[in-house]
A = this chain, B = another copy of it.
Amino acid sequence: MSYMEAIGRQAKEAEKKVRILGQTEKNRGLRAAAEMLCARSGFILEENEKDVAMAEKRGMKESLIDRLRLTSERIEAMAEGLMQIADLEDPVGEIVSMKTRPNGLRIGKKRVSLGVVGIIYESRPNVTADAFGLCFKNGNVTILRGGSDAACSNKAIVQVIREGLVKENLPETAVLLVEDTNRAHVTEMLRMNSYIDVLIPRGGKGLIDHVVKNSTVPVIETGTGNCHVYVDEYADLQMAVNIIDNAKTQRTGVCNACESLVIHKNIAKEAIPAIYERLNKKQVEIRGDEAACAIQPGILAASEEDWGTEYLDKIISMKTVSSIEEAIEHINTYNTGHSESIITENYTNALKFQDEIDAAAVYVNASTRFTDGFEFGYGAEIGISTQKLHARGPMGLEALTTIKYIIFGNGQIRR
């Protein structure tokens, strides 16, 4: 039996116990894990220090070391996250629908745990507690494979979470860590269809693409966001400028930030200078097509590549169009299926944009930055799915569940 197969078997064994835990038990487990994280904060910091020292020795960039480094505040934040998950309503067990068929069979759909969830992530050790919390709340077993940079930290966090579970007489194998960060184990993990029900990669585009391309286990893809704001000819200009400013600059390094503007020609002469003025103040570089450059000095010439680029930086592209149809065509060609917004006071155009744009979230007169599990009222976020199967857009707890048909008969046989 291989190293990964042994973990897979442990997960399958644990699944039987975890799946049938009641809400109270699961919430007790989450709270005990949170308390243990605080109580054992010193131990976690010690182990984290080993990772940080190694990273410094290897010359890791300061910004990455900062993501890797834990502090007692960060550990408290992890614990607080688990407490918040405990406070959320449990989606598992809900009877989504129930009906009676002509033959008297009562057929219900019940929300149940998914089973075994594999999470593959990079250097931020806080994902370890967070992923466990979301999965355990739904009665799932988690197999965590974190980055090698955070190996000691992740091991310590998982050990402490398990101490919390054991304290409450809950199965400690509800959370399993791939401690050996040999990459061959990841390759094997991606093909463990008999042991893992779903894989969720969390991290950069490289990691996500690798998992999507190589996994035979079903994957939930949390992809990149090349998000657009389209300023329709009937836009309220002041609103447009405020929304663009917010969508671009409130936080630049996130997937729901705006990366590209589309401007209707009939409003371009007023809109472009106003947008330029505001973005220029915030040090945002604009790369526009010919018409945009002709209207506003200071806009740089965009290349074809710009239309498809997620900058995650203080840069934005700007395309002018002659019609809403052209805007929709442009966005549907270059977007990544994440979040798109139209600014308009025109009723027909608002609905047309929402109908015809192919993306997880389509806004009228609002910032794309709202695409987020907390902003959508889910109380938690597993990620933002840019695929169409199973879950699309911000994923709350429900995304880690499935349904089961429960059928009540009194002797029915099929004719």
6 A-B pairs closest in CB distance: A366-B409, A246-B413, A369-B414, A388-B402, A390-B390, A361-B405
Question: Which chain B positions have C-beta within 8 A of A363?
Answer: 407, 409
Sample of 16 A–B contacts (CB below 8 Å): A101-B376, A107-B377, A114-B388, A197-B389, A198-B388, A218-B387, A220-B389, A362-B407, A364-B408, A366-B408, A367-B414, A370-B414, A371-B405, A375-B414, A392-B402, A393-B405
In the complex, are the beta carbons of B105 and A366 less than 8 A apart?
Answer: yes
Task: Say yes or no: is A5 at the interface (Cβ < 8 Å to chain B).
Answer: no
CB A364 to nearest CB in B, in angstroms, measures: 5
Beta-carbon contact of B392 and A404 below 8 Å? yes
Q: Chain B residues with Cβ under 8 A from A361's Cβ? A: 404-405, 407
- Band of interface residues on A: 35 or more
Give residues of chain A (386-415) contacting chain B, Cβ–Cβ below 8 Å.
387-390, 392-394, 402-414
Q: Does the CB pair A406–B362 fall under 8 Å?
A: yes
Q: Say whether chain A's binding surface is mostly helix, strand, loop, or mixed.
A: mixed
- A198–B101 alpha-carbon span in the complex (Å): 31
**Mask of A229-244 contacts with B, CB within 8 angstroms, 1/0:** 0000000100100110
Whole-angstrom distance from the CB of A363 to the nearest CB of chain B?
Answer: 5
Q: Which of B115, B218, B366 contacts A219 (CB 8 A)?
A: B218
Q: Give the shortest distance, in Å, between A414 (CB) and chain B (any CB).
A: 4
A127 at the interface (CB under 8 A from B): no
A300 within 8 A of B: no
Q: Which one, A128-136, A155-163, A281-289, A351-359, is touching chain B?
A: A351-359
Segment at the interface with B among A71-79, A208-216, A269-277, A303-311 = A208-216
Tell me whether B115 and A413 are in contact (CB under 8 A).
Answer: no
Closest CB of chain B to A327's CB: distance in Å?
Answer: 14
Beta-carbon contact of B412 and A367 below 8 Å: yes
Q: How far is the CA of A212 from the CA of B193 in the complex (A)?
A: 9
Cα separation A248 to B355 with both chains bound (whole Å): 48
Asked if A26 lies at the interface with its beta carbon under 8 angstroms from chain B, I say no
CB distance A197 to B388 under 8 Å?
yes
Tell me if A16 is interfacial: C-beta within 8 Å of chain B: yes
Residue of B191, B332, B376, B414 near A250 (CB, 8 A) is B414
On whether the beta carbons of A375 and B413 are closer than 8 Å, the reply is: no
Pick from B212, B242, B406: contact of A354, CB under 8 Å: B406
> Are A360 and B404 neighbours in the complex by a CB distance under 8 Å?
yes
